[in-house]
Amino acid sequence: MKQKAWTKFLRFYLPLGLFLLFLLFPFYWMFATTFKSDAELYNLKLNPFLIHHWSLVNLKHLFYQTPFLRWLWNTFFVAITSTLISLSTSLLAAYGIQRIRFKGSSMMGIGIFFCYLVPPTILFIPLATMVFKLHLWDSLWALSLIYPTFLIPFCTWLLMGYFNSIPKELEECAMMDGASRMWIFWRVIIPLSLPGILSAGIFAFTLSWNEYLYALTFISTSLKKTVSVGLVTELVRGDIYHWGPLMAGALFGSVPVALVYSFFVEYYVAGITGALKE
Amino acid sequence: MAEVALHHVGKKYGDVQAVEDFTLTIQHGEFMVFVGPSGCGKTTTLRMIAGLEEITSGEILIDGRKVNHLPPKDRDIAMVFQNYALYPHMTVFDNMAFGLKLKKMPRDEIEQRVRQTAGMLGILDFLKRKPRELSGGQRQRVALGRAIVRTPKVYLFDEPLSNLDAKLRVQMRLELKKLHEKMNTTSIYVTHDQIEAMTMGDRIVVMKDGRIQQVGHPLEIYMHPRNRFVAGFIGSPTMNFIEGARIEKENGALFSVTKGMKLPIPKTHFEALAPYAGREIVLGVRPEDLSEGDDPNAPGAVKAYVEVVQPVGNQIYIDVKVGDRNLLAAISPQSAVKVKEEILLKARLENLHFFDPESEKALV
Ligand SMILES: Nc1ncnc2c1ncn2[C@@H]1O[C@H](COP(=O)(O)OP(=O)(O)O)[C@@H](O)[C@H]1O
Ligand SMILES: [Mg+2]
């Protein structure tokens, strides 16, 4: 018995613990730095892993001297709108490709996948031209419309896999009962795909929340920046890093995502594994 | 009530001819069974009737009206799928009420009809449950209920019992048959199980490789299979086929002869078999047409050596050697037959089957 507990500890809890430590340490570092004064931060004699004197000075800096709350709202706005646009488009696209056997549907699926493979570093120059022509330069809508270029392929593929796990007899039965395609889509497919839709949504939300390159390229006004860009452009002045506020911003920027994840974690797992249990 | 007619219906998937030249009329109120090995095109035929699959050639008529391009919802057909296809996110009640709600039936009428059907099927207590909270047999009933409650013109069943255990299958078979007697709705039932086909069908369609092999009443098919495939497929245990049996003519009588066995052919078959005199044919003997005999000189007597004895209760299956061939015989459970002993068998001569070795068609 004792032996067993030991082997379980060695083979399961120990690796898991080390892994957690590795993953969570950056968060702890952000947290610790946030609540230290500069004096403590740069004092090499103190143990850097502990907080000796709690200080709110970095938070004051972040919230009063930068438009951080505005950045949070911008990020939220962009993440939500681009997620909604991507989800609604992907739902229809994935359903169409997977279930309505039109000519070239499988080619279309592959085509969408290839779109996903084109890196943003190549795309941002042509996209910049388009953004200018649409008079969306320096507008949050530019991001809301551009993020779907990588979110839609991603969500479409995830949802295609999910729809594939729904037996097509369910739809056929509904069809024989007199339901229309749209009706079936709303009343049968959507409710059954909720875990898939949620996980696609979470992915889309996180990807747009963390996006950096497009946000850096298309937004220049401070008040319109997103968190990821705002922090780096306004709290790194030349070669001076305002570590305290930077880390505070990073901490408060990652909290919403962590909340979203923990809230939907069950659906998220079900969505990834594509398991539709009867 | 409806009549379903198929005229030369065919279905091709790319290069695969799934169903070919399928012609059949299913009468008002008839319980028609499609039976055949897996992949013979039963499901495809059913789905074409339902309108879930486009047909490549021919035409389908329901009550004399051509429905080739009519969408499923306008055909007034209900189908029970092999995997039940219950909506996992809806309660049993909502599953059953689904079609009625779509028809915009008043709420209280829906309620009343669902309850009545559920009562008939013994699932009244489960109306509030979700499908995942039911056993296989209960789900099966819900699937049936969902079809029945709509009172369509035609029912289609695609192997509805194949996911149930053997005992439940026998019970549901009986209940389905009773339900059909009560409602008398035209039904098409697909199965790969010949016993299910024999016991349930008013008529049976035996299929192979997308083609109809024979259509008829169960006993008619059992007694007079039209070719070797049907003979082997219908009946359990399977018919013994003796290849290379010769038809011989002696003193104006015909015999079918193989090593260790010489069976006189009944006079009624003389005309059909005379042209085959001196040629080899395939002789078919059902195990149940071989019984224990007592007179070694009686017509149809066969000496055999017992290799395996399998009692099944109401019969004993024995695997015997006659000449250099193995045959299966189903004999009376009272028999004192023993392994590795000689036994005298007697073939029921009027039930012998003869097949052409090339075309495999029945000769009589
Ligand atoms: N959607 C499809 N695409 C291609 N071939 C199919 C399709 N559905 C069935 N087939 C083929 O058609 C033939 C008949 O299939 P099916 O009707 O399902 O047989 P059964 O129900 O008698 O087992 C099989 O050879 C099968 O492989
Ligand atoms: Mg089938």
> Does A278 score more than 80 pLDDT?
no
Tally Cβ neighbours within 10 Å of residue B79. Answer: 29
Count residue pairs from A and B with Cβ separation < 8 A.
58
Q: Residue A260: what residue type? A: V
Query: Is A242 found in the same domain as A109?
Result: yes
Q: Which of B71, B83, B102 sits opposite A177 (nearest CB)?
A: B102
With b for 16 or more beta-carbon neighbours within 10 A and e for fewer, the B197-216 pattern comes to bbebbebbbbbbebebbbbb
Domain membership flag for residue A6 = no
Query: Is A184 found in the same domain as A136?
Result: yes
- Cα atoms found within 13 Å of the Cα of residue B22, Cβ hemisphere only: 34
Residue B113 CA to residue B120 CA, distance in Å, equals 11
Q: Does A260 touch chain B (CB under 8 A)?
A: no
Query: Is A189 found in the same domain as A131?
Result: yes
Sign of the alpha-carbon torsion through A230, A234, A240, A244: negative
CA of B304 to the centre of ligand 2 (A): 41
Residue A186 CA to residue A177 CA, distance in Å, equals 15
> Per-residue confidence at A274, pLDDT binned at 50, 70, 90?
low
CA of A167 to the centre of ligand 2 (A): 15
**Ligand 1 within 6 A of B44 CB?**
yes
Q: What is the mean pLDDT of residues A207-226?
A: 93
Provide the shortest C-alpha distance from residue A154 to chain B (in Å): 27
Tally Cβ neighbours within 10 Å of residue A266. Answer: 10
- When scoring A100, A165, A168, A177 by the number of chain B Cβ atoms within 10 A, the one with the most, hence best to mutate, is A177
Residue A10 CA to residue A16 CA, distance in Å, equals 10
- The residue among A55, A75, A102 that closes a domain is A55
Q: How far apart are the first and last CA of chain B?
A: 37
Instruction: Determine, for residues A191 and B78 on separate chains, whether the beta-carbon distance falls below 8 Å.
Output: no
Domain membership flag for residue A92 = yes
Instruction: Determine, for residues A172 and B52 on separate chains, whether the beta-carbon distance falls below 8 Å.
Output: yes
Reduced to 3 states, what is the DSSP secondary structure of residue B246? strand
Of B346, B340, B241, residue with least CA distance to B298: B346
Domain membership flag for residue A18 = no
Domain membership flag for residue A115 = yes
Q: Does A170 touch chain B (CB under 8 A)?
A: yes
Residue B270 CA to residue B249 CA, distance in Å, equals 10
Lowest mean pLDDT among A75-79, B67-71, B153-157, B161-165: B161-165
Two tokens, residue A172: 């056929």
Inter-residue contact B221 to B185 (CB < 8 Å): no
Lowest mean pLDDT among A239-243, B63-67, B113-117: A239-243
Query: Is A123 found in the same domain as A203?
Result: yes
| Residue A255, pLDDT score | 85
Inter-residue contact B260 to B272 (CB < 8 Å): no
Inter-residue contact A90 to A271 (CB < 8 Å): no
Of B202, B350, B354, residue with least CA distance to B272: B354
| Residue B140, pLDDT score | 93
Percent of chain B with pLDDT over 90: 95
Ligand 1 pocket mutation, candidates B12, B13, B38, criterion most atoms within 8 A of CB:
B13
> Does B116 score more than 50 pLDDT?
yes
Task: Collect residues with CB below 5 Å from ion ligand 2.
Answer: B 43
Inter-residue contact A144 to A131 (CB < 8 Å): no
Instruction: Tell me which chain B residues have a C-beta less than 8 angstroms from the C-beta of A177.
Output: 73, 78, 98-99, 102, 150
E strands, chain A, are 236-237, 240-241
Domain membership flag for residue A7 = no
Average pLDDT along chain A: 90
Which residue does chain A place closest to B97, by CA atoms? Answer: A177
CB within 8 Å of B334: residues ≥ 6 apart: none
Cis bond before residue B237 (omega within 30° of 0): yes
Provide the shortest C-alpha distance from residue A268 to chain B (in Å): 18
Sign of the alpha-carbon torsion through A56, A59, A60, A61: positive
Query: Is A29 found in the same domain as A82?
Result: no
**Ligand 1 within 6 A of B16 CB?**
yes
> Does A1 score more than 70 pLDDT?
no
| Residue B196, pLDDT score | 95
| Residue A115, pLDDT score | 86
DSSP structural state of residue B124: G
> Does B245 score more than 90 pLDDT?
yes
B7-62 residue pLDDT tens: 999 999 999 999 999 999 999 999 999 999 999 999 999 999 999 999 999 999 99
| Residue B145, pLDDT score | 95
- The residue among A36, A55, A74 that closes a domain is A55
CA of B327 to the centre of ligand 2 (A): 32
> Which ligand 1 atom sits nearest the alpha carbon of residue B45?
17
Which residue does chain A place closest to B78, by CA atoms? Answer: A176
Residue B241 CA to residue B282 CA, distance in Å, equals 6
Distances (CA, A) of B125 to A100, A210, B50, B130, B157: 38, 52, 31, 12, 25
We report the CATH number of the domain holding residue A185 as: 1.10.3720.10
| Residue A277, pLDDT score | 47
Residue A266 CA to residue B214 CA, distance in Å, equals 54
Instruction: Determine, for residues A169 and B75 on separate chains, whether the beta-carbon distance falls below 8 Å.
Output: no
CB within 8 Å of A79: residues ≥ 6 apart: A204, A205, A208, A209
| Residue A30, pLDDT score | 92
Query: Is A149 found in the same domain as A35?
Result: no
Inter-residue contact A139 to A248 (CB < 8 Å): no
Query: Is A141 found in the same domain as A46?
Result: no
Q: Which residues of B touch A (CB under 8 A)?
A: 50-52, 71-73, 75, 77-79, 81, 83, 85-89, 98-99, 102-103, 131-132, 146, 150
Instruction: Determine, for residues A278 and B85 on separate chains, whether the beta-carbon distance falls below 8 Å.
Output: no
> Per-residue confidence at A238, pLDDT binned at 50, 70, 90?
confident
Query: Is A50 found in the same domain as A110?
Result: no
Residue A223 CA to residue A72 CA, distance in Å, equals 11
Number of compact structural domains in chain A: 2
Lowest mean pLDDT among A38-42, A79-83, B282-286: A38-42
Residue B34 CA to residue A87 CA, distance in Å, equals 44
Instruction: Tell me which chain B residues have a C-beta less than 8 angstroms from the C-beta of A170.
Output: 85, 87
Tally Cβ neighbours within 10 Å of residue A145. Answer: 19
A41-86 residue pLDDT tens: 888 888 888 888 999 999 999 999 999 999 999 999 999 999 999 9
- The residue among A55, A72, A105 that closes a domain is A55
A169-190 residue pLDDT tens: 999 999 999 999 999 999 999 9
H-helix or E-strand spanning residue B177: helix B166-183
CA of B18 to the centre of ligand 1 (A): 6
| Residue B48, pLDDT score | 97
Q: What is the mean pLDDT of residues B299-310?
A: 94
Q: Give this prediction's pTM.
A: 0.85
Query: Is A177 found in the same domain as A92?
Result: yes
Q: Residue B208: what residue type? A: K
Instruction: Tell me which chain B residues have a C-beta less than 8 angstroms from the C-beta of A277.
Output: 88, 132
Q: Does A178 touch chain B (CB under 8 A)?
A: yes
Query: Is A160 found in the same domain as A41?
Result: no
Query: Is A96 found in the same domain as A196?
Result: yes
Look up the ipTM and state it: 0.84
Domain membership flag for residue A16 = no
Q: What is the mean pLDDT of residues A204-231?
A: 93
Domain membership flag for residue A10 = no
> Which ligand 1 atom sits nearest the alpha carbon of residue B14?
4
Residue A269 CA to residue A199 CA, distance in Å, equals 8
> Per-residue confidence at B218, pLDDT binned at 50, 70, 90?
very high
Q: Does A190 touch chain B (CB under 8 A)?
A: no
Distances (CA, A) of B131 to A135, A276, B83, B88, B205: 54, 13, 12, 6, 33
Strand partners, B11: B19
| Residue B181, pLDDT score | 93
Instruction: Determine, for residues A178 and B77 on separate chains, whether the beta-carbon distance falls below 8 Å.
Output: no
Distances (CA, A) of A163 to A4, A115, B53, B122: 43, 21, 20, 33
Query: Which residue range(s) make up the domain with A43?
Result: 24-55
Average pLDDT along chain B: 94
> Per-residue confidence at A263, pLDDT binned at 50, 70, 90?
confident
Ligand 1 pocket mutation, candidates B33, B44, B82, criterion most atoms within 8 A of CB:
B44
> Does A275 score more than 60 pLDDT?
no
> Does B4 score more than 90 pLDDT?
yes
**Ligand 1 within 6 A of B13 CB?**
yes
**Ligand 1 within 6 A of B232 CB?**
no
Distances (CA, A) of B243 to A20, A174, B264: 73, 51, 17
Of B125, B58, B86, B286, residue with least CA distance to A192: B86
Residue A260 CA to residue A262 CA, distance in Å, equals 6
Sign of the alpha-carbon torsion through B249, B251, B252, B255: negative
> Which ligand 1 atom sits nearest the alpha carbon of residue B11?
12
Instruction: Tell me which chain A residues have a C-beta less than 8 angstroms from the C-beta of B102.
Output: 177-179, 183
Q: Residue B109: what residue type? A: E
Query: Is A182 found in the same domain as A65?
Result: yes
- Cα atoms found within 13 Å of the Cα of residue B333, Cβ hemisphere only: 5
- Nearest CA, atom 13, ligand 1: B18
| Residue A48, pLDDT score | 86
Domain membership flag for residue A5 = no
**Ligand 1 within 6 A of B43 CB?**
yes
> Does A267 score more than 90 pLDDT?
no
Q: What is the mean pLDDT of residues B235-242?
A: 95
The C-alpha angle A183, B49, B79, rounded to 5 degrees, equals: 55
Lowest mean pLDDT among A104-113, A221-230, B60-69, B110-119: A104-113
Instruction: Determine, for residues B52 and A175 on separate chains, whether the beta-carbon distance falls below 8 Å.
Output: yes
> Does A266 score more than 80 pLDDT?
no
> Per-residue confidence at A39, pLDDT binned at 50, 70, 90?
confident
CB within 8 Å of B38: residues ≥ 6 apart: B192
CA of B44 to the centre of ligand 2 (A): 7
